[in-house]
Amino acid sequence: MFVATLLTNPETPVLDRVTVESLRNAWGGGDAKWLNPGVAAEFPLEAMPANLWEVWGGLQALKVDLAVQPAQGRKKRMLIADMDSTMIQQECIDELADEAGVGAYVADITKRAMNGELDFEDALRERVGLLKGLPVSVIDDVIRDRITLMPGGKVLLATMRANGAYAALVSGGFTSFTARIAAVLGFDENRANTLLVHGETLAGEVAMPILGKQAKLDSLNEISARLGITPEDAVAVGDGANDLAMLNRAGMGVALHAKPSVQAQCSVRVNHGDLTALLYLQGYDAEDFVK
């Protein structure tokens, strides 16, 4: 058995009954259940639809996301999440680079690296090198003035943890940011790269080894093994090419507002919903959310 989930941005609840019922009838699904009126609904299916991606494309024009997953084991016991452009709305290195006067140049490299056009580790070293001499105090300024949380993150963490799940923030960014974001959102642990410093300024170097694509996958495997569960018991979320191995190994891998090349390699894609989409995809009703 499978479950089809339709959802949209909670700030603009455009999902209507006609859309849900029309798709349910076309696919011969069971009775629809509204997880949040106007925002999310689901219905059971006996088989994976052959025209899933054709329908998905049509719904995108309506600002509605669609996912079809196996019904069994949807509620996960672990959340493993990327940070930049996933749990927060910015790329931290781009914000630091802007303070250093090289924002546009670095942002272009970041975009290409996240789309899989550049080697992640080489791109990270190049970008960090451009931060040499920047005062360490700028990190606090950036966190205070430039970083905003992705909508739905606190509810996602609170709800999953209240239901016994473990949460890990695993980022190709920097520990100086992940430690703060993890504490604010309620993650159990965080892993990231370490910016090296000389006195009161950034050294323009990052500690080795670099936490990249393989390290994210290794983190998923290591943490799940430590908890006595399997990667299939985890939901992973990210947006960049360095997240792909992690997304494709987890029981539920969600490409959230992801780069086109990343979406193309993921079976669960959320372009319109916020982070509470991960709860709806697991079958949580809005009334079950912990706020």
Domain identity same for 131 and 65: no
What pLDDT band is residue 34 in, cutting at 50, 70 and 90? very high
pLDDT at 291: 86
- Residues 55-85: tens digit of each pLDDT: 999 999 999 999 999 999 999 999 999 999 9
Residues 43 and 186 in one domain: no
DSSP secondary structure, 48-61, as one string: --TTHHHHHHHHHT
Single out the residue in 55, 72, 89 at which a domain terminates: 72
The number of folded domains in the chain is: 2
- Mention every residue, 6+ apart, whose C-beta is less than 8 A from residue 121: 210, 212
CA distance 112 to 117: 5
Is residue 146 located within the same domain as residue 284? yes
Q: Does residue 203 sit in the same domain as residue 280? A: yes
- Residues 66 and 86 both lie in one domain: no
221 half-sphere exposure, CB direction, 13 A CA radius = 10
Structural domain for 176, as ranges: 76-291
**Domain holding 49: CATH number?**
3.30.70.260
Residue 59 shares a structural domain with residue 82: no
- Do 80 and 68 lie in one domain? The reply is no
Average pLDDT over the chain, rounded to an integer: 96
CB of 96 closer than 8 Å to CB of 134: yes
Q: Which residues contact 97 (CB under 8 A, 6 or more apart)?
A: 103, 105, 106, 107, 127, 130, 131
Same domain, 94 and 151: yes
Which of 53, 72, 91 is the last residue in one of the domains?
72
Task: Give the CATH number of the domain where residue 291 resides.
Answer: 3.40.50.1000
The whole-number pLDDT of residue 260 equals 87
Query: What order do you get walking across the sheet with 2-7 strand by strand?
Result: 33-36, 40-45, 2-7, 65-70
Q: What is the pLDDT of residues 216-273, one digit of tens each?
A: 999 999 999 999 999 999 999 999 999 999 999 999 999 999 988 899 999 999 999 9
The answer on 145 and 186 residing in a single domain is: yes
Q: Tokens for 3, please give them.
A: 């479950």
pLDDT class for 127, splitting at 50, 70, 90?
A: very high
Residue where one domain finishes, among candidates 23, 38, 72: 72
pTM of the model: 0.96
Query: Which residues participate in catalysis according to the annotation?
Result: 82, 84
